[in-house]
Structure formats: C-alpha cells, structure tokens
Amino acid sequence: MPVNSTKPLRWKDDIRKSVDAYNDWFVRFAPKAYRDTRATTTGKVQEAMTITRNMRDIGAETLRAHPEVLSVLRMATCPPLAVDRLIGLAGVPGALVKSMEKAHRLPPKLPVDRVTSELNRVGEVIQKLVDRDILVWLDGKGEPSAEEIHRASTVVADRLCGAQANPIIRGAQEQRQLDSLSQWLIARGYEKIKPSKVDDHRRMVPGTFCFQLNVNVRQERRDLNVPVDAVIMPKVPRGLRLPLLVEAKSAGDYANVNKRRKEEATKISQLRKTYGRRLRYVLFLGGYFDRGYLGYEASEGMDWVWEHRIDDFAIMGL
C-alpha cells in the first residue's frame, strides 16, 4: 500500500519541511563540500601545469599523451571555453573533444595523422585565448615562481568547480542521503553487503542491503544494466519476497527536478517490464520537489519517502 503518493493533503507540508531541511544542510555543509573539491581540483590543475610546462607546451603530442588536461586548458583561457565553443572554434569533430573530456582518451578509430592535425588546432585555439592575467609568466622569459603557479592553479580550479557546482553539491547531498539510510538500516539490525556479493537482487539474504547495484533488465531483445542506488531485502520479506529498490534524489531548485522527473519513470518502466508489476521501487527525496513533480511520479505508480521523515521506511516493511 502506498505510503505518501496517495496522500496529497500532506504534500504541501512535506515540501516545506524538505526545502527547509535542504537549505539548512546547504548552509552548514555545502561550502565544505565545495572547498574539498576545490582543493582536490587545484592539485589536478597543478599536475596539468607540470605536464604542459606551465602552459607553454599544449601541442598535439602533449594532448595525445595527456588528453585529461583538456578540461583544465579550457578553464585557463579568457573567456573560459565551454566544450561546444572549443569544438566550434577549432573546427574539430565533437567526438574528439568529448572523448578527451569524459573518457580521458582519444577516439580509437580516428587515423593518427588526422588526430595530430585536429589536436594541433585545439592547441592553437587555447594558445590564442590563454588568460595572461592569471598566467602572468607567459609574457616573460623566466620561469614562474611556486607562488605564481599556485595562485593561477587556484583560479583555474575555481573556474572548474564553478562550472560543476551543481553536480558537486548534488553528489554530496545524495551521498549524505545514502549515509543516512545506511545508519537507519544498521540501527535496525540490517547488514550492508558489497554489490559484488549480489548475483541476483531477488535472492539477497533477508536483512541485508547494498548500494549502487546494477540490476539487469531486458529491453528490445537485449540485456541492460540499470543502476539502483539502494537495494534492501526486508528481514521478513513480504509476498513474493522481493527487495525494496530505492532511488535517492536530491535537488536544490524546483526547475531542475521537473526536467529530470522522466528519468525515474523510464527506469521503473524498464524494471517492471522485466520483473512485473509487483516490483517495489520508491524514491528517497531530499530538497526541492514540488507538487508538479510529486503528482507526475504518483501518476507513474511511484511512492516515496522524505529524508526528513525517514521512519516511513518502516511502514514499507523494513
């Protein structure tokens, strides 16, 4: 029986409490999450400085050997370059730049001579636009001091983190959600197991749970892996002895969730086609989720638990 999706009269109060809880967390913990990421990113920028001889060597050979530095180079220009802007200015295939950005490698099927030519064009664009106000040593002949390198690396790291601020905060919040769920389950005698120990989520031992499990689904005559944030087998399984599948969702604004709301509907549709309508799949919500979002998910047959009222998991049989 649904716990929250069929009770719209209390949605307004839950939305308010969820927003208040998220804002409280953001003020207290988001700055630290951002600073920690910035410190790590500064180290990566300094590595890129070493690889590129402090931004003096960004030709094809350097980019071929170290495609992972491209994201740093984009943020060391004036103005900083978005991926699509760099692709357009350099006149190179999008697949080349996106592969370097996401996979940190060159597309394996591109011929070597063509790759060399296109990497040179990428390097030329970056050299023309390099931000000499932060890379001050490029206008001189001497080597930069350690202080100048650190200062420039911090600025570039800030730019990188600024471009990724929302994912950084969302990742920290969703990890907090999973930590909260883990503590709640362990306090009730559940045991956390590794995904590698689960051959089939339907055969998990009662009283166990795992995070970040790939669940196999069948779609159009082929198998796919659908990532599920948490899979929990109740101590006393109900009915068909199916585990509870949980998707942790966090949001810092209303607009973003309504863009993403179809993701959960697609996932549950894939899972139900494989495992039937009795599949138990719920959302674990924290942050900005309005009535439009809740109404959409309820119409798709989904229920949810609010982070500020985590004990509702007990009503679901845990």
Q: Which 3-state string (H, E, C) describes 269-294?
A: HHHHHHHCCCCEEEEEEEECCCHHHH
Average pLDDT over residues 204-229: 86
| pLDDT at position 237 over 70 | no
Contact, 207 vs 193, CB < 8 A? no
Q: Mean of the per-residue pLDDT values for the chain?
A: 88
Closest CA to 19 of 178, 302, 256, 253: 253
The CA–CA distances, whole Å, from 124 to 68, 86, 152, 163, 277 equal: 17, 11, 21, 23, 56
For the chain, the domains span 8-30+166-315, 34-165
Q: Which helix (H) or strand (E) holds 123?
A: helix 112-129
> CATH code for 8-30+166-315?
3.40.1350.10
Scan for tokens 């697949």, then name that residue: 95
pLDDT tens readout for residues 170-205: 778 888 899 999 999 999 999 999 998 888 888 899
Average pLDDT over residues 72-100: 92
Choose between 259 and 247: higher pLDDT: 247
- Strands in the chain per DSSP E: 191-192, 208-219, 222-233, 244-251, 280-287, 303-306
